[in-house]
Chains A and B, each alone.
Chain A
Amino acid sequence: AQSVAQPEDQVNVAEGNPLTVKCTYSVSGNPYLFWYVQYPNRGLQFLLKYITGDNLVKGSYGFEAEFNKSQTSFHLKKPSALVSDSALYFCAVRGNSGNTPLVFGKGTRLSVIA
């Protein structure tokens, strides 16, 4: 069965500094990988996805993520953090065949400090 690990419950970063939110995954076959963001009292918003091709994926709000097959990782990055980026971030994975569900990690709370 597929799974996602987000090893950090909380990430703190100063405004203007680069940020990284870590994600590793386990899945049979090739993965489809996703990042979502959740603001307080809101549902999840889609940020970006990796399907195939270039290992660096660009998404909404200046976020990008790097797929690393050998390390089974899909870390979320942003060159310069904003206070408004403070939110809960979820990584998700599904396999590329069968009735494989979309499975999420436990989430990482990002706090950007002015």
Chain B
Amino acid sequence: EAGVTQSPTHLIKTRGQQATLRCSPISGHTSVYWYQQALGLGLQFLLWYDEGEERNRGNFPPRFSGRQFPNYSSELNVNALELEDSALYLCASSLAAGARISLNTEAFFGQGTRLTVV
């Protein structure tokens, strides 16, 4: 069974540009989470999608946005890139049982996209 896949693995952008990061969840998983892992800051929660809807959003500016597609894959978009956006962006997926979100199920992580803003 394939795990969570993220693309690209590395991305280099210039300040002010836009970046698009992609994530495919494990088959059968409908919840997708995005996290930013910057040096020394641990994992900062960005966004959570489930069944195509945004369930929660972390304390990030509006230029961080995303969406979830009907096949449950997800995109993270970062507009007007700043140098401090350089980080490892991790996507995770988990089960969600229909209308009742399974909060006690563990999330499975992809390998991440390393975004470098120069």
Residues of A whose CB lies within 8 Å of any CB of B are: 6, 32, 34, 36, 41-46, 49, 51, 90, 94-97, 99-107
Closest 6 CB pairs of A and B: A106-B42, A43-B109, A104-B43, A44-B109, A99-B55, A51-B104
B90 at the interface (CB under 8 A from A): yes
Cross-chain pair count, CB within 8 angstroms = 59
Interface size of B by Cβ–Cβ distance < 8 Å?
A: 24
Contact A46 B33 (CB under 8 A): no
Residues of A within 8 A of B109 (CB): 36, 43-45
Asked whether, in the complex, the Cβ of B48 is within 8 Å of the Cβ of A49, the reply is: no
* B contacts with A: majority SS: loop
Cross-interface CB contact of B58 among A41, A94, A101, A106, cutoff 8 Å: A101
Given the interface contacts A43-B4, A90-B42, does A101 sit within 8 Å of B48 by beta carbon? yes
**B64 at interface (Cβ–Cβ under 8 A)?**
no
